[in-house]
């Protein structure tokens, strides 16, 4: 099988539009580093959003406002390294585009040029249609974001559901139409009533991706830390926890601390001998205890089977032979 045949097709703006046309639901999750990007990519997530939510779940801020363009570029670069199939979308941080169209163009260009993003997301409706239009014209795809826009948390009086009254609902619908007309390829609908999200989804031809907007959007997005249950104290109505990873991480670390304190780790199994291992592929770090990939059948060419016996170190890229046990 050729390398091209083994590599999944890259998700693009055209892929997403086709998914809406055929009724296939779109999946989007946040990612902030290469490891999570790799895992989510392997799980066939369609879009990885390098969100300014990093300010809250990574940096510990109470909201997203302190996040800078430099921080977002850093996280985008890391995520882009781990994403082969998924589309990578960079979030435009607060005050990276609100001052002027020119500044918005410059910072969006930095996310693509320096960060490796394949699209940018910006919060706001018709008031940013001109920026969205100009970005689209120069070849930078734009994902809109309306409804509850976290960068406007102070103006909204907190993280509150939007569009419950007639005027608010009309504005959201008008914003969606304005962003589509400006060239946005998708729109995030956050924190709005389900019936309004359905109305918006039916009114535009571009995909809608909901978070706290009900099941009638063309896709869904969650913050990966929320999906995995990494914060016991954060339990918003719109989040479903698919794991209790916070508890599992804490338990694993407590076990590690106990074994180190009691002298149970490391054992001989995790120590190096004075004699070098026989494998030619051995490295100073030895090898991971892993089996060859599922595709490593004896019928495959010898060169491909040999590559299955070498595992790349996730941080530095040093090859690790699975035969090196010493």
* E strands present in the chain: 26-30, 47-50, 87-91, 119-123, 142-147, 186-190, 208-211, 219-222, 310-312, 319-321
* Catalytic residue (choose from 103, 114, 190, 255): 190
Q: What are phi and psi of 22, to 5 degrees?
A: -95, -5
SS3 27: strand
**Tokens at residue 48, please?**
């990885």
Structure tokens at 231: 């914060």
Question: How far apart, in whole angstroms, are the C-alpha atoms of residue 55 and residue 58?
Answer: 6
> DSSP letters of 190-230?
ES--HHHHHHHHHH-SS-EEEESS-TTSSEEEE-HHHHTT-
Whether 103 is catalytic: no
How many separate helices (H) and strands (E) can be counted in the chain?
13, 10
Give catalytic residues, as residue numbers.
190
């Amino acid at each position: 099988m050729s390398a091209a045949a083994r590599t999944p097709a890259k998700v693009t703006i055209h892929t997403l539009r086709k998914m809406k046309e055929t009724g296939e639901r779109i999946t989007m999750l946040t990612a902030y580093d290469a490891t999570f990007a790799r895992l989510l990519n392997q799980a066939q997530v369609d879009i990885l959003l390098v969100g300014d939510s990093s300010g809250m779940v990574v940096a510990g801020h109470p909201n997203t406002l302190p996040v800078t363009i430099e921080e977002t570029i850093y996280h985008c670069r890391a995520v882009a390294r781990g994403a082969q199939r998924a589309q990578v979308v960079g979030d435009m941080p607060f005050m990276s585009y609100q001052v002027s169209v020119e500044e918005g163009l410059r910072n969006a260009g930095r996310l693509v040029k320096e960060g490796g993003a394949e699209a940018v997301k910006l919060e706001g409706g018709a008031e940013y249609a001109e920026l969205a239009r100009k970005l689209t014209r120069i070849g930078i795809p734009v994902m809109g974001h309306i409804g509850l826009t976290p960068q406007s948390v102070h103006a909204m009086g907190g993280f509150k559901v939007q569009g419950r009254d007639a005027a608010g609902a009309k504005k959201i619908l008008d914003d969606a139409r304005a962003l589509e007309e400006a060239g946005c390829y998708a729109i995030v609908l956050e924190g709005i009533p389900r019936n309004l999200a359905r109305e918006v989804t039916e009114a535009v031809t571009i995909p809608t991706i909901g978070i706290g907007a009900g099941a009638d959007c063309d896709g869904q997005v969650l913050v990966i830390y929320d999906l995995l249950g990494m914060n016991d104290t954060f339990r918003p109505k719109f989040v479903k926890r698919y794991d209790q990873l916070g508890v599992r991480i804490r338990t694993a670390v407590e076990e590690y601390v106990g074994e180190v304190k009691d002298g149970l780790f490391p054992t001989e199994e995790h120590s190096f001998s004075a004699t070098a291992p026989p494998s030619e592929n051995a490295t100073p770090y030895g090898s991971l205890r892993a089996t060859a990939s599922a595709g490593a059948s004896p019928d495959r060419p010898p060169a491909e089977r040999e590559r299955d016996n070498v595992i790349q170190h996730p941080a530095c890229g040093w090859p690790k032979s699975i035969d090196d046990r010493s």
